[in-house]
Amino acid sequence: MKIPKEVVAALKKEKVFLIAAHINPDGDALGSCLALSSALESAGKEVYVYNKDSVPAFYRFLPGYKTVGSSLKKAIAKDPVLILLDCNSPDRAALERYSFRKSIVIDHHETENDFGDIRWVVPAAAATGLMVFYLIKAIGIAFTGDIARNLYTAIAVDTGTFRYSNTSPEVLKASAELIEAGADPAFIAECLYERWEKTRFDLLVMTLNNLEIKNGVAVMHITKDMFDKTGTTSEDTENFSNLPRAIKSVKISALFRDIGDGFWKASLRSKGNVNVAKIAELFGGGGHKNAAGFKISGGLKSAKEKLLRAAEKTSRDR
């Protein structure tokens, strides 16, 4: 993977960094941030890791997760260089009110804008974690066990633990190198998939019970009342939108989550060549070919109908 020389030069030259990823961070975002932070700190840099949202409980096996802060006061006072990971616009990281003397974007999302003084956006990359893997090697820093666990988790999450179509020889070679450096695949898989709280499982059961399928599109929803009844939060819904893809006839899976003030957050997943990023873009959202999302206002019934029409239109246009 070719890394822009400007990225490497900036990481070697600058002294203070603020690393941030998108709100509601997933394993790729968190693993990438924590791995790069650890690598830069080992090189004598001062590094702050920011996310507006707290680290979900099921990602607290990641080394260094306690360094992720939700306050910017101390970091901003140091006039840092911003490194935006796994997203490419400041509003996705809740940073739209701030300005930085220099900004670096490292991302692999298909939907992008022109933010960033230095941009390294590779939509074909399986995970931002894979890009950070090569970046750490390029700046000459050895992988520790902690860095390896974070990067392996990042890559595993965005490849569906090596089940998705983006699982390439490059992905497997990098992952093998991370295992050699100390990542434990069995432990990471257990943490990701086999340590659920009973309340989270209760929420999943309620969500699956409202599953509807029409023309190859599976739709589920989660209301505020469902969160209240199970004692769960939005962070407990990660990976729910993937599950209906196990049904042979389903090409697109959608999860609508009530986010308040009359808005719903739609998480889309697809199989094969169905590009849900194109669907999300119709509603002002975006993402990857097989994983994307958007926000929509109005009633749930209307939101579902609009999604089904958009899916049908996208299918005709292919």
pLDDT digits (tens, 9 = 90+) for 280-298: 999 999 888 899 999 999 9
What's the number of CA atoms in the CB half-sphere (13 Å) around residue 185? 11
DSSP secondary structure of 76-96? HHT-PEEEEES-SSGGGGT-T
Edge-to-edge strands, sheet with 46-50: 68-69, 46-50, 16-21, 81-85, 103-107, 118-121
Q: How far, CA to CA in Å, does 258 sit from each of 18, 155, 307?
A: 31, 29, 15
- Residue spans of the domains in the chain: they are 5-193, 198-317
The answer, as to whether pTM is greater than 0.95, is no
Domains 5-193 and 198-317 share a fold: no
Specify the DSSP class assigned to residue 22: -
pLDDT digits (tens, 9 = 90+) for 117-150: 999 999 999 999 999 999 999 999 999 999 999 9
Q: Burial level of 194, CB count in 10 A (0-12/13-18/19+)?
A: exposed
Helix axes 169-180, 145-158, angle to 10 degrees: 150
- At residue 273 the predicted structure's pLDDT band, cuts being 50, 70 and 90, is confident
- Structurally, at CATH architecture level, domain 198-317 sits in Roll (3.10)
- Structurally, at CATH architecture level, domain 5-193 sits in Alpha-Beta Complex (3.90)
